[in-house]
Structure 1
Amino acid sequence: MRPPEENRPDPDELLSRIGAEDTKPRGKFKIFFGMAAGVGKTFEMLRDAQKEKSEGKDVWIGYLETHNRRETEKQAEGLPIIPRKRSKYKSVDLEEMDLDSILEKKPDLVLVDELAHTNVPGSRHPKRYQDVLEILDHGIDVYSTLNVQHLESRAGIVEEISGAPVMERIPDSILELADEVELIDLVPDDLVKRLKEGKIYPTDKVPQALHSFFRVPNLTALRELSLNYTSKLVDRELSRLEPTKDPKISDKILVAISASPRAADLIRYAKRISFGLKCPWVAVHVDEGESYSAEEKELLRENLHLARELGAEILNSSDKDPVSGIIKAVHRTKATHVVIGRSGKGRLSRIFRGGSFIDKLSEEAGDFQILLAPTIIPKEKIAISNIPFLRRTRSKPIQYFLSFLALLAVTSFNLLLNTFAGYWSIGLIYLFFIMFVSLFVGRGPVVIISALSAIFWNFLFIPPKFTFYIEKLEDWMMFGTYFILAIILGVLTTRLKDKEEDLQTGEEALSGLYRLSISLSKIHSLDEIASVAVETIRETFHCQVLLLLTDSDSLLNRSPHPKSDFIPDSKEFALAAWTFQNRKPSGKDTDTVPLSIGLYLPLLTQGGCFGVVGLNLDTRTSLELEEENLLFSILNQISLAIERIQLLGIRANAKLAEESEKFYSALFNSVSHDFRTPLTVIRGSLDLLETGLSEKEKSDLYSEVRIAYKKLDRLVSDLLDMSRLETGRLKLDLQWEDPADLVNETIRISEYEKGEHSLGSKMDENLPLVRMDRRLMIQVLVHLLQNAFMHAGKKCNIIIRASVPKDHLLLTVEDDGIGILKGQEEKIFEKFTKGSSSEHGTGLGLSICRGLVEAQGGKIWAENRQEGGARFLIRIPVLTFPPLEDSIV
């Protein structure tokens, strides 16, 4: 049942911490470890904290349980306390550690007592050690306390020793994660003395504790467990510091787990072995292709989760033979030890199965040892679920009822047919009916109707009728054969149907992944990837989907993608933001707010986190193991596709930067000579002016300086105009201008550069006014004249023509020189294009001309004259004549 809304985390507290990824290093973790309550773990933790505070650290108490012990309370004096967070569960007021306040305050060191504590349902994390891990991720040091019985791998042993169940447990990997583990040891007799003095429990609970958990033999065994575990921790640390001195570094443990309640004991035993050998371990599940019930699926999920929590590598294998599957896993992981459990099957079962599982595994060739877990296994009881034909059959009652009705209908038909056909033919009809029914129901109904059909056939049709007695030997043989064939055919047909359904399910999953990969490979935009991702997840898992992607600053976008149909409230969105920040799943069926309605998963690759996908699981059951694997595969493909798009963008930017670098390199190389030439003329002329020269010589030098200055000014203007054209920042000053004035002004400006060329103009009479930018059009004509002066040849005639045919102004600059190379009429308008490589200039003039003309809505092109020479034509639209002034009414 979901807790009330007020018990869920405040979204404002979560969202206030969502931002750029924190680069602060992980905090240091110290655990005060003991054999039982009352040995002094909390006292020692407080004493060390007081020492840290005296050295200038900011130390706060996040959660402290003194159990009204005076010496413990006295030791805590002077340490500031973060108030606990109050919540209500089932009408009961409860207090818990305020995780958000700790993260907001960010002390140097925080004290968190009772590491194995279970939080109130509705908290962000089910267990307190998960809160501690989040505190450490934010760079805050943590001191905490723990008893040996709370370790997952030792909890079963403690239960056997003390006879009391251990409800609160934590994975061993949490203790192995600690930077320091300090053993708080106490002699059992001294601990019993402290108990009798009332320093551990209230006086009224002391007698019960002395006769149950706190008996000296129990405490001695617990002390041995804690000492043994701590010594192995020290040994592992030494092995880590000096790995070359560890002779068992190449060992690896493999444990086979299944949907069995005994698998948890195997997992804990394998963890203890791997911890003792200081080697990694693997948990393998062999899928035999048989369907599991909901209870078995949940148990398998819990076993896999337990193995993952204890630090195992999870491996899934598919094989009809579990022994063959384990051998393949051994070769794949290079395991040196295989942990298996004892079998509770009887001798008869082992005979029919060709030997026990241990016998079959030991007969296989391989360089590994078999470790038999020392667990007490109860003898297997004979049950319907253990019968080979009925194993894992989960047919609904309606299937039994409808199968029985169908059997009655077929029997009625056979009674009518009995007058025409013999009882052997009726037996064949029953066989056909059983094979047909097995296509629609499970094994249980098939076996039941097979037995009932045999009974009906015998009682109603085999002579003597209406008795169970059979006279003839051949009828006995026929009846026995029928009974066996009916069951075998029905069960085999059902099994083939189950296999077909499993294969179809697997094929659909593979086909879906293949279609998704093909679709993603053809997509080249982030929005298309997001659309495909949302639609694929929605259709595959039949639930609403939320997609949040990162923005340009690599922060989580607050707005869901438009294709999202799951729009969470502020509290659910806070979970999605937490997932993005911590790169971990959150929400339903996870360790972070498991009672939420949504499941939130990060889109992760080695390149980072690109967003969060949320699934609304409020209206459907939790995801099964196969669905989880499929979902992670889909998310992996989506993440890689998003990363590919981002890499393509980075590549495009890099290519653009490279092209830009080439552009500027070519530009500077091109203009370097054109800059240096006028500057050299100016510098040389100034040097000569300092010497004694006649007035005529000075006048000539002034003229050269003026010409050089104009060339330099024009070159700078060209570069600025090209920059404005490239960036779209060119502003037009459109006015009504006289084309004749425009041509005359151009000739006047260019007169000093014509050299030996002749320059003239021809214009129609009564030219209309044209709306254009006078400055830019003069610049265009000047560029065209300079181009003719440079490329036409020597002593050419250059003419500017102006006319208004139809609805446009036509400006022409033509010469009678060498003309344009064939095929280059269009290319000469491209940037950095020159007539030949030996010619000077930037190659920007004609490119600037085209840009300036097109900016005014015109067109420019070049062609060769039939009589020789080149011609450049400019067409500017003439839309209307200038309006007259409004008359005064």
Structure 2
Amino acid sequence: MNSNGIKNINLETRPDPEQLLAKIKSENNLKAKGMLKIFFGYAAGVGKTYAMLDAAHAVKKSGVDVVVGYIEPHTRPETLALLDGLEVLETKSVFYRGIYIKEFDLETAGKRKPEIILVDELAHTNAPGSKYKKRWQDIYELLDAGIDVYTTVNVQHIESLNDIVASITNVFVKETIPDKVFDEAGQVELIDIEPEDLLKRFNEGKVYRKEQAKRAQSNFFQKENLVALREIALRRTADRVNREVQIARLSKTNIKILPVKEQLLVCISPAPTSAKVIRTAARMADSLQATWIAVYVQTSENKYIDKTVQEQLQKNMTLAEQLGAEVVTLHGDNIADQLVSYAKLRNATKIVIGRNQKSRNPLLRILKKDIVNRLLDLTAYIDVHVIPGISQDYDNRTKPKHKNADLFLKFTFSKIDFLKIIGVLIFATALAYSFYAIGFAEANIIMAYIVGVLVMTLITKGYLMGMIGSVLSVLAFNYFFTEPRFTFSVYDAGYLVTFPIMLSVALITSTLTSRIQHQMVTSLKREEHTQMLYDVTRSFLNVSNRESIVVKGIEYLTSVLKRDIIVYLGDENDNLAEPILNAQGKMTQDLLDKNEEAVVNWVFKNRKNAGVGTDTLPGSVAYYVPIKTHQKIMGVIGIKCYDDILDIDQRHFLDSVTVQMAIALEREKLTEEQAKIKIEVEREKLRSDLLRALSHDLRSPLAGIAGATTTILENREILDPETVNELLNGIYEDSEWLTRLVENLLSMTRIDEGKLQLRKKPESIEEVISEAIQHIKKRAKDHVIKVQIPEDIFIVPMDGKLIEQVLINLIDNAIKYTPKGTTIEIRAFEAGESAYMEVSDNGEGVPEDSIKHIFNRFYTSESSSRDSRRGIGLGLAICKSIVEAHGGKIEAHNKKEGGARFRFSLPLD
């Protein structure tokens, strides 16, 4: 479908494969899964639950295992009475907001596994803590288990109808079901009563309790509301039935018309008075409350209509679309066959067509039927409505231009083709002369010329050259092979019959061959067009940003249309951005004129075509089309029209590329939005993790500092010096821990903001390790630290301060997760083109499932530690960032003899 809603269709009479797949899928689902039967109503109180229970009793009498899973509590005694004789499963109680709520027990139903289970109120929202959020999800699990389910739904609970119902009743219902649940149900039974009867039941208190009835009476239960809701329910049910009829009808080889509802198909043409046919069809569709389709059949002849006729055809198509038609373009030389085939495909019950003036030649009327009569012969179950009034003005003014353009292409004389004919004629004469010399019969000589005519037709273009070749072949046969030879005279009177027959055979052969050639060229063009559209679609899949998508679309359009093209894209604020222009002609500034920008803005705001060839702002220099999806307009594309408008094929190609461009742009926008959402989610997750970690891990050192300080201040006179020193050391250690935490946070902030700057210079490994140990020696007073480095001076290019921080974090991590008295070993060595540093311990090691996550932010191992301040999981993440910024790698693994080893590399270059 193009951006105007105009479809470009090639008809085939075989069954629709999509409908076959839908039918097979539906049948397979019914066999493999349980069947869902919905009792559907337009309001509460119409009798859905009553009908469901009554149906349960009916199937139980047939020996079917039926149980009641859940029935909404009612005050209607006649409904509750139907529960007698049916097995009712126990409900489960869920405590919610201070009360116990009875809910359907899915687990019990699954264990019981009856053949049919009744579950009332399909759109119900389950209480928190249930397995699924919605009851229809519970029912899907039962269906997957092969259990048939009976349930009830009101029209306001269908998602797509929710807004419509809210506009009628001023009540927005929150509990809804997806449309697919309703559409995929095996059976839908409409429970319907007259609104007056429902209001009577409502006033008698059989629908709601008193407190509920007062609220309902001001919303749903007013007659005009009930009438409207009833109509919506009837239409929704009818749409579902019609879809089932379509699937069943189109899945058969012999497609038949099933007049379940009125649908009109109107044939439009380039004639100015075709507008009368369109308006008549619109009035008929409106009076019948029917949908209608406007169809234009493009034949191989009417592809060459001139500019005036093209403009008129576009006006007729636009008129049909404005009046509510679906506009479709078909391709084929037999207009009547195309119309009938498409009418059967779309289940159209009426065809509306205009009638041209009858031919004045009685012989032509006898030999050739017009389209109307052919339609009447082909249609057995479709009504044909003929609209008279096509004036002679169209036949005299427009039709000859159309035909002459076609005839000009078919009957053009070409000198090159004429030379080809002469060459083939010489060859055919030589071949015929060899037959004559051998003594072959005269029929063989004639066949040599017939073959020559076939070759002439294949290597030349148009009917005229084939006719010339046919006449010359007959004359050559007469001149060279009939008595008297080498003259155009004949003695034998039988040749007066031979020559016309030979000429007729040659002309028929030439005409048929030319027609086949023409059809072949048309087919090749269609195949080329289809292949190009396939290439367009495939190429858009490989393009990753908006500008590239536009450029790719412009490339394809330029290669076919050979015109200047300009594209405006909309930004996030629904304003047009700077245009992207591809110029083929010389005068490109015309497209950048302020008047043209005004046309572009009109198209962008109104989502409709404008410019040359339309009724809106036709004085512009280009034809503008919105790049739009169902929900949003992505931009505007303009095609400069120099002295001629785009023909139908060019517009179809433009619309096809525009649709693909819109899909690609929408896909790219969704991708960008998903990326932003993902970043926001990650950012929010990091923020929440950081706040959670800080709130937990800052509490211990701050409490320690506050406690030690309070003890000293309040008990200074009675505390001995050793206790005071111990408390002060604790304060110092806690403050050191907080300092390292702040440094890690600042480092991670610089990394995230891209402000981590490396100041690499040759550094001594021994000095860097020594500085790191000095910085953390008070933390490591209960551990033994061993250092193993090469005896020679070991110089490595690095940022000394950052690598020192890596070592401090690794040593601190070892201290934190190993018992007191254990040994921490630091080792440095060179291997290949990298320098390696290791920090290992002889503790319990790292859990295997934590190794792959240990360098992630805010990840902390669950293994026990003597240190109550385990950290917030930033130290190792910072180590990884710093090492990778140096171009190195960091890894962790457990040693065979016990303990963990962290190793990182630094390039020596």
Q: What TM bracket, shorter-length normalisation? A: 0.5 to 0.7
Q: 1:367 to 1:787 in 2, by over 3 A?
A: same
Provide the C-alpha distance between the structure 1 equivalents of 2:837 and 2:828, rounded to a whole number of angstroms. Answer: 5
Separation in structure 2 between the aligned mates of residue 826 and residue 784 of structure 1, nearest angstrom: 16
- Preserved CA contact (<8 Å) 2:890 2:904: yes
Residues 1:380 and 1:520: Cα distance change in structure 2 (over 3 Å): closer
In the other structure, the counterpart of 1:146 is none
**What are structure 2's unaligned runs of at least 5 residues?**
1-227, 236-258
Q: Is the 8 A contact 1:407 1:449 kept in 2?
A: yes
Q: What is the SS of the residue equivalent to 2:613?
A: coil
Q: Is contact 1:290–1:392 with CA below 8 Å preserved after alignment?
A: yes
Task: Read off the aligned partner of 2:639 and give its amino acid letter.
Answer: L
Alpha-carbon contact 2:298-2:333 (below 8 Å) kept: yes
Which stretch shows the higher mean deviation, 844-853 or 821-830? 821-830
**CA shift in 2, pair 1:676/1:446, >3 Å:** same
- 1:589 aligned to which of 613, 620, 635: 613
Cα distance 1:565–1:670, how it changes in 2: closer, same or farther (>3 A)?
farther
For residue 316 of structure 1, what is the amino acid of its counterpart? T
Deviations 1:492-528 (A, max 9, x none): 1111111111111111101111122222223334444
Post-superposition Cα deviations, 1:161-193, rounded to whole Å, max 9, x if no partner, equal xxxxxxxxxxxxxxxxxxxxxxxxxxxxxxxxx
Question: Which letter does structure 2 place at the counterpart of 1:286?
Answer: V
**CA separation of 1:392 and 1:775: change in aligned 2, threshold 3 A:** closer
2:501 matches 1:481: yes
- CA-CA distance at 1:491 after TM superposition: 0.9
Evaluate the alpha carbon distance shift between residue 427 and residue 381 of structure 1 in structure 2; reply closer, same or farther with a 3 A threshold: farther
* Counterpart Cα distance in 2 of 1:475 and 1:841: 113
Matches within 5 A, 1:389-408: 392-395=406-409, 399=413
Hey, what does 2:194 align to over in structure 1?
A: none
Comparing 606-615 with 405-414, which one deviates more in the overlay?
405-414
Secondary structure of 2:413's match? helix
Report the equivalent of 1:508: 528
Distance in 2 (alpha carbons) for counterparts of 1:433 and 1:802: 92
How many Å apart are 1:600 and its aligned residue?
3.4
The percent identity for this pair of structures is 27
Once residues 292 and 859 of structure 1 are traced to their aligned partners in structure 2, the CA distance between those partners, rounded to angstroms, is 67
**Match of residue 298 from structure 2:** 287
Out of 444, 456, 476, the position equivalent to 1:437 is 456
Distance 1:652 1:376, change over 3 A: closer
Where 2:628 maps in the other structure, the secondary structure is strand
Deviates more, 1:251-260 or 1:530-539: 251-260
Assess if the C-alpha contact under 8 Å between 1:832 and 1:842 holds in 2: yes
Q: Does 1:303 align with 2:323?
A: no
Decide which of 750, 757, 760 is 2:776's aligned counterpart: 750
The secondary structure found in structure 1 opposite 2:408 is: coil
Give CA-to-partner distance per residue, 1:95-124, whole Å, 9 cap, x none.
Answer: xxxxxxxxxxxxxxxxxxxxxxxxxxxxxx
Q: Which residue of 2 aligns with 1:602?
A: 626
Is 1:266–1:341's contact at 8 Å kept on the other side of the alignment?
A: no
Residue 844 of structure 2 corresponds to residue 783 of structure 1: no
Flag the 1:871–1:265 CA change in 2: closer, same or farther, 3 A. Answer: closer
Q: Name the residue aligned to 2:702.
A: 679
Q: Structure 1 stretch 808-817 or stretch 323-332: which is displaced more?
A: 808-817
Report the CA distance shift for 1:241/1:630 in structure 2 as closer, same or farther (over 3 A). farther
Normalised by the size of structure 1, how large is the TM-score? 0.59
SS of the residue corresponding to residue 623 of structure 2 reads: strand
Partner letter of residue 650 of structure 2?
Answer: E
Match of 2:639 in 1: 615
Check 1:759–1:516 CA distance in 2 against 1; reply closer, same or farther (3 A cut): closer
1:863 CA drift (Å): 7.6
Shift of 1:344: 0.3
Q: Separation in 2 of the partners of 1:683 and 1:298?
A: 92
Query: How far is the alpha carbon of 1:584 from its aligned partner?
Result: 3.5
SS in 2 for 1:399: coil
CA distance in 1, matches of 2:833, 2:388: 103
Between the aligned partners of 1:595 and 1:551, the Cα distance in structure 2 is: 28
Q: Does residue 336 in structure 1 map to residue 362 in structure 2?
A: no
- Structure 1 residue 729 corresponds to structure 2 residue 755: yes
- Point out the more displaced range, 707-716 or 391-400: 391-400
User: Aligned pair in 2 of structure 1 residues 348, 272: CA closer, same or farther (>3 Å)?
Assistant: farther
Q: What's the secondary structure of 2:669's corresponding residue?
A: helix
The answer (yes or no) to whether the contact 2:264–2:348 under 8 Å persists in 1 is no
Q: Is 2:640 the counterpart of 1:640? A: no
Residue 254 of structure 1: aligned partner: 265
Equivalent position amino acid for 2:521 in 1: E
Q: Aligned with 2:580: secondary structure?
A: coil
Structure 1 match to 2:118 = none
SS in 1 for 2:871: coil
Instruction: Report the AA paired with residue 657 of structure 2.
Output: I
Give yes or no for contact 1:283–1:313 (8 Å, CA) kept in 2.
yes
Give the Å deviation of 1:639. 1.8
Partner of 1:848 in structure 2?
Answer: 878
Shift of 1:655: 2.8
Q: 1:324 aligns with which of 317, 331, 337?
A: 337
User: TM-score if structure 2 supplies the norm length?
Assistant: 0.57
Q: C-alpha separation between the residues in 1 aligned to 2:836 and 2:448?
A: 99
Cα distance change, pair 703–594 in 1 and its aligned pair in 2 (3 A) = same
Which digits, 9 at most, give the CA deviation of each residue in 1:385-439, with x for residues without a partner?
99xx999533477517777777778888899977956865654444334323333
**Within 2, Cα distance between the matches of 1:765 and 1:503?**
83
RMSD over equivalenced CA pairs, Å: 5.3
Using the alignment, how far apart are the partners of 2:589 and 2:555 within structure 1?
18
Please tell me the residue identity of whatever aligns with 1:639.
A
Q: 2:539 aligns with which of 519, 533, 544?
A: 519
Indicate the residue corresponding to 1:652 in structure 2. Answer: 675
Task: Provide the rounded CA distance (Å) in 1 between the counterparts of 2:473 and 2:766.
Answer: 113
Aligned partner of residue 555 in structure 2, secondary structure: helix
Aligned residues: 634
Q: How does 1:266-277 map to 2 (within 5 A)?
A: 266-267=277-278, 269-270=280-281
- What amino acid is the match of 1:349? L
Deviation for aligned residue 1:725? 1.9
Residue 326 of structure 1: CA displacement?
A: 2.0
Q: Does the alignment pair 1:630 with 2:653?
A: yes
Is 1:556 the counterpart of 2:566? The answer is: no
- Rg (Cα) greater in structure: 1
For residues 404 and 507 of structure 1, what CA distance do their matches in structure 2 show? Answer: 30
- Whole-angstrom CA distance in 2 between matches of 1:408 and 1:849: 88
Shift of 1:585: 3.5
Q: Which amino acid aligns with 2:339?
A: I
After TM superposition, the structure 1 stretch with the greater mean CA deviation from structure 2, 833-842 or 419-428, is 419-428
Report 1:115-264 matches (<5 A). Answer: 252-260=263-271, 263-264=274-275
Alpha-carbon distance in structure 1 between the residues aligned to 2:694 and 2:552 = 51
| CA distances 1:601-634 after superposition (whole Å, capped 9, x unpaired) | 332222423333333443x853321221122112
CA distance in 1, matches of 2:671, 2:829: 52
Name the CA distance, whole Å, in 2 between partners of 1:859 and 1:380.
82
Q: In structure 2, what is the Cα distance between the partners aligned to 1:811 and 1:376?
A: 94
> Could you say which residue in structure 2 is the equivalent of 1:532?
552
Q: Distance in 1 between matches of 2:908 and 2:419?
A: 93
Counterpart in the other structure of 2:363: 348
CA-CA distance at 1:656 after TM superposition: 3.0
For 1:257 and 1:358, the matched residues in 2 are separated by 13
Hey, what's the Cα distance between the residues in 2 that align with 1:752 and 1:665?
32
- The secondary structure found in structure 2 opposite 1:756 is coil
Question: Residues 826 and 861 of structure 1 are in contact (CA less than 8 Å); yes or no, is this contact kept in structure 2?
Answer: no
Q: 1:787 and 1:285 mapped to 2: Cα distance?
A: 78
How far apart, in 2, do the equivalents of 1:412 and 1:664 lie?
91
Whether the 8 Å CA contact 1:549–1:611 is kept in 2: the answer is yes
5+ residue gaps, structure 1: 1-239, 880-889
Q: Which residue of 1 aligns with 2:719?
A: 695
User: Is the Cα contact below 8 Å between 2:712 and 2:719 reproduced in 1?
Assistant: no
What displacement does 1:472 show? 5.1
CA distance in 2, matches of 1:352, 1:806: 95
Q: Structure 2: which amino acid aligns with 1:328?
A: S
> How many angstroms apart in 2 are the aligned matches of 1:370 and 1:826?
74
